[in-house]
Amino acid sequence: MSRARVGIITNYNVINDQYRTHSGGLMNTQAVAEVCDCMPLLIPADPRFVSVEELLAEFDGFVLTGGRPNVHPEEYGEEATEAHGTFDRNRDAITLPLVRACVERGQPFLGICRGFQEVAVAMGSTLHPEIRDLPGRLNHRMPPDGTIEEKFALRHKVTFTEGGVFHQLMGAPAVMTNTLHGQGVATPGARFHVDGTAPDGTPEAAYVDGASGFTLAVQWHPEYNASNDPVSRPLFTAFGDAARDWAAGRAGCPVLKSA
């Protein structure tokens, strides 16, 4: 029996200042294949090559990956500044309407880091350009030095809404996560339901309120060590189940009902 097909959003990169690519991290592919038990397929996030309509027809679910470029501030009604960093307008042009279409159809997606922010913006949220510049906030950015293991080490707690979707999914009121992001959600949109926060109040886990399908998103990177991590595994397992439900024609199967 064929596996459910999960589209993994890629990032635009230039290798050696010359060779242009659409690339995706091996961690994402491995998590989809081994934990979700789905077929991972990379999507070039550029409207010149693919359309949202085609993606919806071809895939059973989507992973909105992390990425260095940030969502352009014009997408949430603000002007760009140097503090916002770099952008990828082609990715914005694919992912934001893709999120909205999936919400409307009940088609599943999992948002990760930049993907978390894409879900937030697609649902009417605004973003802070730099979390660490805000009074009382932690530095959520990736450590500049060290091994991959050190960069993805668990660094802070995320506390979930008691009895909420993430509390039920994880079987715990709080978990430890890594943190590798600069931006963060400022004002959540009406349907962007924040279900978990860092100790400094930064939104870290969310879903789309009232959606009929799986719409979970996290600000951390669960793809790292997903097969073995007790926080990552249930997240990817539930997403894989949702993708299989969609493939089997059981559209609109949310992960859990919030209390």
Residues acting as catalytic residues? 113, 221, 223
Angle between helix 89-105 and helix 114-122 axes, rounded to 10 deg: 60
Helices (H), 180-255: 232-247
Q: Give whole-number Cα distances, 136 to 176, 201, 202, in Å.
A: 20, 9, 11
Could you tell me which residues come within 8 angstroms of residue 102 by beta carbon, excluding any fewer than 6 positions away? 56, 62, 108, 109, 213, 215
- Judged by DSSP in three states, 13 sits in strand
CA distance 61 to 63: 7
- Which amino acid is located at 186 in the chain? A
Tokens of 161: 């809404």
Using CA atoms, how far apart are residues 143 and 139, in angstroms rounded to an integer? 9
Instruction: Tokens for 118, please give them.
Output: 């894409």
Which of 11, 29, 121, 34 lies closest to 75, judged by CA?
Answer: 121
- Contact assessment for residue 195 and residue 216, using Cβ atoms and an 8 Å cutoff: no
DSSP classification of residue 11: E
The neighbour count for residue 199, using CB atoms within 10 Å, is 13
